[in-house]
A and B are shown apart, each in its own frame.
Chain A
């Protein structure tokens, strides 16, 4: 990487800055979407026109989408070299799923 830089540092730096700035634009867009999803979730709960049973799965779905944004954009899991992080986070989510499912279905006393 050092050798690449030293070959033509100015151009390289300008290119990299541009790339970073573009990525930052994507981050701001995903932030806007996250805020939007949050507001929708809060409005859903406050609004009386929707059946109660529909509200819970809907807001949980919104939360899941938002967390995907957070993980893949804010935490850069969409970048190359994140195979390890993906494996461990998804394994954690798998165990989470089993645990929560069990506690919501077979703890009933």
Chain B
């Protein structure tokens, strides 16, 4: 099947992300990359777990964390994962407009999450004097959660770029794999967050 071919709903393949060799390569290559990302976050998680009680006299995790804020952030990101599933569902049905809409919703939810996280970091720094430089816990916390935040920011830029770049020309076999791996990336961000809210926040509140 040729990349530049103009397609209709009838000729659009069942798995557009894997219809071309380039698509297949992107698909498997991105999963391989996610395997590496897993280990990257694993190292950060392990470091955090080893240093989670090293407050150096500063605020402990029980004093710092606010359960309501974390809950709202979690709901935002989990929902954004579902909306990107909707987007891919519409991609498979060759409904470009609906796909763009749901990716748009995903971006908005992701943006809300990011704003909340920035507010949270700011809050810790000013209310509790809890900074990257204040203790080993501070270094570990900001590096782990900040790396995740940077992934969210990169994902937002990526999906937005894809949406704007392809807004006029619609769906084809050149950009379908790109949308697909971007949605995989977004789900992976959510996977990491599930462990962050459990291991960092909830376990931090238990003590």
Interface residues, chain A, with chain B CB atoms under 8 Å away: 1-2, 5-6, 9-10, 12-13, 16-17, 20, 23-24, 27-28, 31, 34-35, 38, 41-42, 44-46, 52, 55-56, 59-60, 62-63, 66-67, 70-71, 74-75, 81, 84-85, 88-89, 91-93, 95-96, 99-100, 102-104, 107
Contact = CB atoms under 8 A, between A and B. Distances in A.
User: What's the dominant secondary structure at chain B's contact region?
Assistant: helix
B203 A59 contact: yes
Contact of B46 (A52, A60, A85, A100): A100
A84 B31 CA distance: 8
Contacts of A1: 1, 13-14, 19
A109 B38 CA distance: 27
Contacts of B49: 100, 103-104
A96 B9 contact: no
Interface in B68-99: 71, 74-75, 78, 81-82, 85-86, 89, 92-93
User: What's the dominant secondary structure at chain A's contact region?
Assistant: helix
B50 interface: yes
A81 to B, nearest CB: 7
Contacts of A75: 184, 187-188
A45 B206 contact: yes
Contacts of A56: 203, 206
A45 B11 contact: no
Interface of B: 1, 9-11, 13-15, 18-19, 28, 31-32, 34-39, 41-43, 45-47, 49-50, 67, 71, 74-75, 78, 81-82, 85-86, 89, 92-93, 184, 187-188, 190-191, 194-195, 197-199, 202-203, 205-207
13 contacts: A1-B19, A6-B11, A20-B93, A31-B78, A34-B78, A52-B206, A66-B194, A67-B195, A71-B191, A88-B31, A92-B38, A95-B39, A95-B42
A5 B93 CA distance: 14
A88 B93 CA distance: 29
